[in-house]
């Protein structure tokens, strides 16, 4: 049944259209210069489907559409229930695409338990090593950063990062960004959650730290709220055909942002998200108008 569901979902992917899509905007990771498509794929809630074979197949179809559209970064965490196993199953089904940029997290208060958790996560993904490991929500960050830096030095990891979400602990995030040799910082940012603009985004630009934006749609709450209102005519000026695209274009127009990682369960939404990074981005004046308009709704 799962195979049939995946087959149906894959049929919904017109290869011609996927190939015809322009490659999404790519941004350089400052610490290496490696270019990264600016739309990634989050897995918070959306990929936590347990043993439900039909839903697992849907997740695999989402991943297939993501890779077909030029996406690379998939992000998860031990906190996300079955998401890691679901990603691993999807990657195996898709033959472990070379394009994958595997971004994971370590999430345990014990520094001693970090390596074992990372090994288990690697087993669930079915990958030899991760491209990026981040300290999730700064939990046990000092010990874990030591572990991750040691892994990077030994060639067992390419990039090291930290994460926060929904504006929490920005003071500490700022301190760590200022003092530690980080490759990535992950934080929440969208037209209504703009606290990161004050200190973290300028600091990331100054220190050469790549920025991953999580919860661009506030876990769907923002787009659900906006869906009740018509998309303004001026959204067409930058080729945005949906609220989701307008939000993503707003985020990607911030130069310090490297990748936004919207999560979804739907193939059409993956395509829509990737397409947001494929056209014009708003200038400063239009970004202001987007934020004011969305904030007022």
Partner 1 sequence: MSEWWTYRLDDFLLFSPRVYWRLFEAHNAALWPLHLATMLAGLSLVVLILRRPGRAMLWTGLLLAPLWAFVAWTFLLQRYSGINWAASYAAPAFLVQAVLLLAAALMPGGPAMGRLDAIGKTGLGLVLAGLLLYPALALASGRPLAGAEVFGIAPDPTVLVTVGLLLTARGRWLAFLLPIPLLWCLFSGLTLLAMGEAQAWLLLAGTVLVALLGTLRLVRRGSRAVRE
Element (H, E) at 157: strand 157-163
Report the nearest approach of partner 1 to the CB of residue 219 (Å): 7
| Collapsed DSSP state (helix, strand, coil) of residue 114 | helix
Report the nearest approach of partner 1 to the CB of residue 128 (Å): 26
Cβ neighbours, 10 Å, residue 98:
7
Member of 7, 32, 52, 96 binding partner 1 (CB under 8 A)? 52
Cα 291–chain centre separation: 21
225 touches partner 1 (CB under 8 A): no
Token readout for 205 is 């630009």
Spatial distance between the Cα atoms of 249 and 239, rounded to a whole number of angstroms: 9
**Residues 27-46: x where in contact with partner 1 by CB under 8 A, - otherwise, as a string:** ------------------xx
**Residues 260-289: x where in contact with partner 1 by CB under 8 A, - otherwise, as a string:** -----x------------------------
Nearer to partner 1, 50 or 288 (CB): 50
Strand 157-163 and strand 26-28: the pairing is: unpaired
Spatial distance between the Cα atoms of 164 and 188, rounded to a whole number of angstroms: 7
Spatial distance between the Cα atoms of 140 and 111, rounded to a whole number of angstroms: 6
Spatial distance between the Cα atoms of 229 and 284, rounded to a whole number of angstroms: 23
Short-list 119, 90, 91, 94, CA closest to 104: 119
Nearer to partner 1, 166 or 197 (CB): 166
5 touches partner 1 (CB under 8 A): no
Spatial distance between the Cα atoms of 193 and 295, rounded to a whole number of angstroms: 10
Nearer to partner 1, 156 or 169 (CB): 169
Of residues 68 through 127, those in contact with partner 1 by CB under 8 A are 79-82
Report the nearest approach of partner 1 to the CB of residue 149 (Å): 23
Furthest CA-CA distance within the chain: 55
Nearer to partner 1, 17 or 123 (CB): 123
168 touches partner 1 (CB under 8 A): yes
Report the nearest approach of partner 1 to the CB of residue 59 (Å): 11
Member of 166, 197, 227, 283 binding partner 1 (CB under 8 A)? 166
Spatial distance between the Cα atoms of 159 and 156, rounded to a whole number of angstroms: 10
Member of 29, 37, 48, 244 binding partner 1 (CB under 8 A)? 48
Report the nearest approach of partner 1 to the CB of residue 280 (Å): 33
Nearer to partner 1, 167 or 208 (CB): 167
169 touches partner 1 (CB under 8 A): yes
Report the nearest approach of partner 1 to the CB of residue 43 (Å): 11
Member of 49, 94, 103, 248 binding partner 1 (CB under 8 A)? 49
258 touches partner 1 (CB under 8 A): no
Quick check: 249 and 198 in contact, CB under 8 A? no
Quick check: 171 and 156 in contact, CB under 8 A? no
| Collapsed DSSP state (helix, strand, coil) of residue 286 | helix
- The stretch near partner 1 (CB under 8 A) out of 141-149, 162-170, 195-203, 227-235 is 162-170
The helix-helix angle for 2-11 and 53-68 (nearest 10°) equals: 30
* Residue numbers at the binding site for partner 1 (CB under 8 A): 45-46, 48-52, 55, 79-82, 166-169, 219, 265
């Amino acid at each position: 049944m799962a195979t049939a569901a995946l087959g149906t979902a894959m049929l919904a992917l017109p290869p011609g259209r996927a190939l015809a899509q322009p490659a999404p905007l790519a941004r350089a990771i400052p610490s290496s210069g490696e270019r990264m498509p600016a739309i990634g794929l989050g897995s918070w809630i959306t990929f936590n489907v347990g043993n439900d074979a039909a839903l697992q197949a849907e997740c695999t179809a989402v991943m297939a559409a993501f890779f077909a559209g030029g996406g690379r970064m998939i992000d998860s965490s031990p906190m996300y229930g079955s998401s890691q196993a679901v990603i691993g199953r999807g990657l195996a089904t898709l033959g472990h695409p070379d394009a994958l940029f595997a971004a994971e997290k370590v999430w345990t208060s014990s520094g001693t338990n970090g390596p074992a958790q990372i090994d288990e996560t690697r087993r669930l993904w079915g990958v030899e090593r991760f491209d990026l490991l981040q300290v999730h929500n700064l939990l046990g960050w000092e010990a874990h950063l030591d572990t991750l830096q040691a892994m990077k030095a030994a060639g067992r990891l390419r990039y090291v990062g930290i994460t926060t979400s929904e504006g929490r602990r920005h003071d500490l995030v700022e301190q760590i960004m200022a003092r530690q040799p980080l490759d990535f910082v992950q934080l929440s940012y969208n037209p209504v959650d703009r606290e990161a603009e004050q200190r973290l985004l300028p600091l990331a630009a100054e220190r050469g730290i790549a920025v991953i934006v999580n919860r661009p749609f506030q876990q769907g709450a923002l787009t659900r709220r906006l869906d009740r209102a018509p998309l303004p005519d001026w959204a067409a000026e930058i080729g945005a055909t949906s609220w989701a695209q307008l939000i993503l274009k707003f985020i990607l127009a911030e130069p310090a942002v490297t990748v936004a990682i919207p999560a979804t369960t739907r193939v059409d939404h993956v395509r829509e998200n990737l397409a947001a990074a494929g056209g014009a981005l708003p200038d400063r004046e239009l970004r202001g108008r987007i934020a004011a308009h969305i904030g007022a709704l």
